[in-house]
Structure 1
Amino acid sequence: MSNSYFKKSAYIVLFFVVIMVNAQETKNKKQNTKLIELIAKEKAEINTLYELLNNRKRQEAYKNAHIMLKKIKAKESIVRMDLFFANYFNREAVLDSTLHYANRALKNSSYIINDTLRSNVHATSYNLIGLCNNKRGLMEASKKAHLKGIESVDKYEKSFSYYVNLHGLANVYMKQGDHINALKYFKQCLEYKSEDEIGEIAIGSYINIGTIYGVQKKFESSNLYLKKANQICKDTDNKDCQAITAINIGSNYQDLGDYDQAMKYYKESLIIAKENQLFQTQVYVNEYIGHLLYTQKNYTDSKLYYLNALTLSIKHNFLSNQKDIYMRLKDIAVKEGDYKNAYALIDRYSQTQDSIITLEKDKEINELDIKFKTLQKENEIKDLVFENNNKFLQLKNQEKAIENLNLQKTIEGKKNENSLLRLRESSQNKANQIKLLKKEQQLKDSEIQRQKETRKIIFIGFIIILIPVIALLIVYYQKQKAQILINTKQKEISEQKNKSLLKEQELELIKAQVEGQDKERLRIAQELHDSIGGNLAAIKLQLSNSDFGKEREIKNINNQINDTYNQVRSLSHNMLPKRFNQNKFCDVLEDYQKKLAEVSKLTASFSAYPRKDIDHLNEKIQVEIYTIVQELITNTIKHAYAKKIELQLNLIQNSLNIMFEDDGIGFNTKNNKEGIGFINIKNRINSLKGTINIDSSLSRGSIFNIEIPIS
Structure 2
Amino acid sequence: MYKPIWFFFFLFFLSQLVLSQILIDSIKYRSTNFTTFGVNPTKTNLALLQIIKDAGTFDIKAKATLELIDFHDKNGNIDSVLFYGHNLYDESNSLKIKTYLAQTTNKIAVGNRKKGLHDEALKWHLKGLNYAKIAADKNSFNYHKYGVAIVNLQRKKYEESLRLLKETLDITKNEKLKHKIHKRIGDVYLAQNKYKKSKQEYTKALLFFESVKELKNQLETKIQLGLIAEKTQNTQQALNYYIFVKDKALKNNFYDLYFDSQNRIGRLYFSIQEYENAEVALSAAYINAMQWDYIEQQQRVLNNLSLVYVALGDYKNAYAILTQYQKLSDRTLNEQNKKEVNRLEVQYNTLQKENEIHILQNEQIKKQNEIQRQKTLKISFLIGFLVILIPVIGLLYLYYQKLQTQSELNIVQEEANQQKIATFLKEQELKLIKENIAGQDKERKRIAQELHDSIGGNLASIKLQLSNTAKNNKNYQHITKQIDDTYNQVRNLSHTLIPKEFTENMFTRLLTNYIENIQKDNKTKITFSPHPKQEVNNIDEALKVTLFKIIQELLTNAFKHAKASQINIHLNKYEDSVNLIFEDNGIGFNTKIHKNGMGLDNIKSRLDSLSGSMRLDSFQNRGTLIDIEIPL
TM-score, normalization by structure 2: 0.45
Higher relative contact order (CA 8 A, sep 6+): 2
TM-score, normalization by structure 1: 0.40
